[in-house]
Structure 1
Amino acid sequence: MSWVLGVDSGGSGLRAALADAGDLTGHGARAGTGGPRNGSVALPYAAAASSREPVRTGSAGIDAGHLLEQLVPMARDLLERAGAGRLSAVVIGAAGMATLGGPLRAELPAALESALGVRRLVLAADAVTAYAGALGSRAGAVVAVGTGTIALGTDLTVWRRADGWGHLLGDCGSGAWIGRAGLEAGLRAHDGRRGGSAVLLDRMESVFGPASKLPGFLYPRSDRPAVLAAFAPDVARCASDDPVAAAILARAAGHIAEAAAAVCPPPDEVPDGCEVALTGGLLKLGEPLLGPLRRELAGQLPHARQVASAGDPLSGALRLAGELAAGELRLPAHPTLLHVPGGTRPGDCQDPNR
């Protein structure tokens, strides 16, 4: 057996799954045709584990020591539970890898080889493992929409990236963006300015208290994006009765489609047509967002096919680990988005912001 480990490190903690690479054969991502939704194709794995403690991030970037403290015992336990031997390949997908992953790229290869005997390793941005979970190793575009928004596309030669700039500079159409727009509309109504919504003002005050106290509650918080995103479902619930809330979701759909259009390979690069998938918790808002999103994708990407996401970032990490073990990694390497330690592959010198 060839044992592989997929790891997903994000804001809600660390998850890992162990599988026999042979069992992953034939379970490539399969796309549906029902438009943007978040389906799931279960991958066969021998054991899984998770921690609710997010890996710390410091001034130097993601804390490699803290990740190792959680991952190494978790991996050893998974191997023991499965009666497995040495790992053939490990793929770690981590939030912030592209911009804050320097310590991981510097420390993990030697540390994991010493602790677990790992020789084949990939360190990927969580957007890349989300891509692999959604589309596998096919050309196309994936937009991950949750608290933030980031889009990745590839023709299997280079990566294209759009947004993912955070709630102050971007993440347009995300949960944080929708929540902030809803709160602004409520405050406009409170002030008597144009563009306000009495419905959203009422909902805002029922959640956060008096409007005058909202800045003092929100601005000092370090988790502002999550607090803003928590109001997005309230905006969606108001959309059927409030044209301002409906317009906010329509604008969000336009931003998400713009990100997809920015990264989708053009028709001359993908003769069979570009596949576009969406993934992430924001899709749970349902038809108030998905209805306008289908229309925007059809209008902005008439040459693309909207397909269902096949799986989540953890399944994407497992898929990539299976390919890595077999020496068949097809997605393009990149110095920060998909880093293959000790190996140079086409695309290693790309601009990470393309």
Structure 2
Amino acid sequence: MKFVLGIDGGGTSCRAALATGNGVVIGRAKSGAANIRTDLTGARTHIVEAARQAFIAAGQDPDLIPQTPAILGLAGANVGTYRQQLEAILPFSISRVETDAEIALEGAVGSGDGAMAILGTGTAYMARKGGTSRAIGGWGFQVGDQGSGARIGRDLLEQTLLAHDGVRPRSALTDSMMAIFRNNPEDVVEFTTNAKPGDFGGFAPKVFEHAEKGDSVANWIVDKSVADVEASLHALDLSDDAPLCLLGGLAPLYGPRLSQRYQALLKAPLDDALGGAVQMAARIFVKAEATR
């Protein structure tokens, strides 16, 4: 087997890495969102484009895509039949779709015990004990993803409208949000009509920035989100010596805000989710070929 592909797709972007059969990455690329529950067709387009660009970045011919197997860790793969639908329409020689949590755990702790939390546009948690994995969350923006960038952004817009109506106190953060929407609450509502999780999540860094400045609304949202994250970590029932890795764009913002119990468990991940997908692909596909 000449090459394997690792794909990491979420609500904001899709990353691809082309690697040799022993897992050495030779090309990387990035494209648009790839949450298969939110937009299956768009996700497929972005997955294929990221793979194509990864081949080009490696100086290889993208026409080799149909001869290359891929492990894909994708947001939305944990519900419904989206996983099976996508596998049927991808161009790779073998397409194995996993959850984004599965590849993130593989990247973070390798094949041993430990836990990880994805804290990005969405949230998901997974722990492995004695070879058995358990996942928590990842149910999507509408009914889950507590503590995610998308939920933080949604909460910010809600608090902004409440402040505009005089139900809650205004703050510098809510005033700045109203300015973005021309001080027109109808524009805020119009934004939400077609906004995807990634669109909401784009406001999350702004909340953390204002929290650092002591903004009351920002701190209320951040405190609520930290409590949601810790509730999920508590449900994982981590042992005192289990490494805990925080992944995703919001991980550096959450880490210092966790309680001492969880800060004591924090370890740097061995690799990121994309690296986990690559190593899983090399292990599974190369091993399968060797046993034929």
Decide: shared fold, TM above 0.5: yes
Q: 1:135 aligns with which of 98, 103, 109?
A: 109
Deviations 1:231-273 (A, max 9, x none): 2222222212323322321221111122222235x54xxxx83
Instruction: Indicate how the Cα distance of structure 1 residues 212 and 134 shifts in structure 2: closer, same or farther if over 3 A, else same.
Output: same
SS in 2 for 1:251: helix
Greater gyration radius: 1
Question: CA contact under 8 A between 2:87 and 2:97: conserved in structure 1?
Answer: yes
Residue 15 (structure 1) aligned with residue 30 (structure 2): no
Unmatched runs of 5 consecutive residues or more in structure 1: 25-43, 329-354
* Cα distance in structure 2, aligned partners of 1:226 and 1:54: 8
State the AA in 2 paired with 1:164: G
Taking the aligned partners of 1:199 and 1:308, their CA distance within structure 2 comes to 35
Match of 2:73 in 1: 93
| Other-structure match for 1:282 | 250
Cα distance, 1:2 vs. partner? 5.9
> 2:281 is matched with which residue?
321
Q: Which runs of 5+ in 2 are unaligned?
A: none
- 1:219 aligns to what? 192
Which secondary structure state, in structure 2, belongs to the residue aligned with residue 306 of structure 1? coil
Partners in 2 of 1:186 and 1:98 — Cα distance? 33
Q: 2:124 aligns with which of 144, 150, 162?
A: 150
Structure 2 partner of 1:246: 219
1:337 is aligned to none
1:263 aligned to which of 210, 223, 236: 236
Computed over aligned residues only, the root mean square deviation of the Cα atoms, in angstroms, reads 3.6
Correspondence 1:184-223 to 2 at 5 A: 184-194=158-168, 196-223=169-196
Deviations 1:63-93 (A, max 9, x none): 89757864775687678739xx997853222
Write the distance in 1 (CA, Å) between the matches of 2:185 and 2:223. 28
Shift of 1:101: 1.0
Percent identity (aligned): 29
Given candidates 207, 214, 231, the residue that maps to 1:235 is 207
Q: 1:81 aligns with which of 60, 67, 82?
A: 60
Structure 1 residues 105 and 244: alpha-carbon distance in aligned structure 2, compared to 1, 3 A threshold: same
Cα shift readout 1:205-250 (whole Å, capped 9, x = no counterpart): 1222225324432232142x23322222222222123233223212
| Pair 1:305 & 2:265 matched | yes
Deviation per CA, 1:75-117, whole angstroms, max 9, x where unpaired?
87678739xx997853222222222212134455xx644xxxx
TM-score (norm 1): 0.66
Partner of 2:5: 5
Number of residues of Structure 1 aligned to a counterpart in Structure 2: 282
CA contact (8 A) 2:37 2:77 kept: no
CA contact (8 A) 2:5 2:51 kept: no
Maintained 8 Å contact 2:34/2:74:
no
In 1, Cα distance between equivalents of 2:193 and 2:28:
37
* Contact 2:147 2:228 survives alignment (8 Å): yes
Q: Tell me if the contact between 1:89 and 1:324 (Cα under 8 Å) persists in the aligned partners.
A: no
* Aligned residue identity for 1:319: Q
**Is 1:292 aligned with 2:257?**
yes
Cα distance change of structure 1 residues 208 and 227 upon mapping to structure 2, 3 Å threshold:
farther
1:189-214 Cα deviation digits (max 9, x unpaired)? 323324x3322221211222225324
From 15, 19, 27, give the equivalent of 1:47. 27
Contact 2:157 2:188 (C-alpha < 8 Å) held by counterparts: no
Report the 3-state secondary structure (helix = DSSP H, G, I; strand = E; otherwise coil) of the residue aligned with 1:98.
Answer: coil
Residues 56-135 of structure 1 mapped to structure 2, 5 A cutoff: 66=45, 70=49, 81=60, 90-99=70-79, 100-106=82-88, 112-113=92-93, 122-135=96-109
Give SS of 1:311's match: coil
Cα distance in structure 2, aligned partners of 1:261 and 1:327: 36
Q: Distance in 2 between matches of 1:71 and 1:210?
A: 38
TM-score after normalising by structure 2: 0.78
Higher relative contact order (CA 8 A, sep 6+): 1
Are the structure 2 counterparts of residues 189 and 54 from structure 1 closer, same or farther at C-alpha, using a change threshold of 3 Å?
A: closer
